Amino acid sequence: MTFIITLALSCFLITLIGTRLLILTLRKRTVLLDIPNLRSNHKNPTPKGGGLAVMMALIICLLVADIDFPIVLSLLILVAISLLDDLIGLPIYLRFIVQLIAVAIPLSAFSEPVLSSWLPLCLDKALLGILWVWFINLFNFMDGIDGLAGTEMFTIGFGLCLPAVTAGYFPDPLSVYSLLAASAAAGFLWWNWHPAKIFLGDVGSIPLGFFLGYLLLLALQHGFTYAVLILPAYYLSDGGITLLKRCWQGKKVWKAHSDHYYQHAVRTGRNHAVVTRYIFGANLLLILLSTLSVLEPEVAIFHLALAYLVVFMLLGFFAHELKESHGH
């Protein structure tokens, strides 16, 4: 127990200090600088390499925690390709191919289906791979305002650790790795909260999307199906509905945009911190409901329904605020 707590604290401190050093370094350079454009929700040029510190801390601590090397290999591959993308820009097809390779590396070791026992193993792996890559890109697209990605990372990390601990799975890979994710998120949020002094960049959001997807996969293997659906409910809803709307409107869904509900909320005049607090408040309820879904599996479907009711109410609130601002 002492070792795990010390490791989590170390992950927090390495992220905290490492991000601060990155800020000081990148402020003096034009490389990895996010210049505001028409889609941006920030006004001043801001360094965007914060993911380097987060991933350094996380990978070091995961190795100490004895994580399977294929996960670390995939993380390193994604960090490298995403850093290159941040620096010079890469074609979408190349990034997509690398992401498929990254998820295929750990999935190749799976010896039995995860999604359903009646699915052939090869089909189960293919579906898992598609969902995993989709989640990676969802996490990347949703990283659009100060503090949001860090808040979601903390929510999924702590939100998976808590039910794992209460269900008696401590220390095990799910609880330990999730705790490390929450610790790294807390260290990064110190600098990324509004007004952000640094952004994750693709070098952070892409590998973190992969790692959080891996944690959700571990939770599925523990039988925490409802928790897996509940914890990322805000991201799944805002990202999913926005994707469907853009498809309906004939827009290119792979292009960067500012059509998400949380981005509309910022454009109504609320600052990033207020909008992120709304989402974090909803996420705290999701953490509670996901834990209850594990402790009370016989009524887990009701916890799932309540979770999405909370999220849809928040999305409706954001949409109403936008409508009101246009009316005035």
**CB-side neighbour CA atoms (13 Å) of 256:** 10
Peptide bond into 171 cis (omega under 30): yes
Quick check: 206 pLDDT over 80?
yes
Helix (H) or strand (E) holding 281: helix 272-295
Asked if residue 311 lies in contact with residue 282, where contact means CB atoms within 8 angstroms, the answer is: yes
Looking at residue 115, its pLDDT comes to 87
Query: pLDDT tens, 90-109?
Result: 999 999 999 999 999 999 98
How many folded domains does the chain comprise?
A: 1
Confidence of residue 268 (pLDDT cuts 50, 70, 90): confident
**Residue 258 to residues 15, 119, 154, 282: CA-CA distances in angstroms?**
28, 38, 23, 21
Domain containing 203: what range? 2-327
Q: What is the mean pLDDT of the chain?
A: 90
* More confident position, 268 or 130: 130
Looking at residue 36, its pLDDT comes to 61
Burial 140-150, CB ≥16 within 10 A → b, else e: bbbbbbbbbbb
Provide DSSP, 111-171.
-S-SS-TTS-HHHHHHHHHHHHHHHHHHHHHT--STTHHHHHHHHHHHHHHHHHHHTT-TT
Least confident of 16-20, 119-123, 276-280, 283-287: 119-123
Quick check: 42 pLDDT over 60?
no
Percent of the chain with pLDDT strictly greater than 70: 93
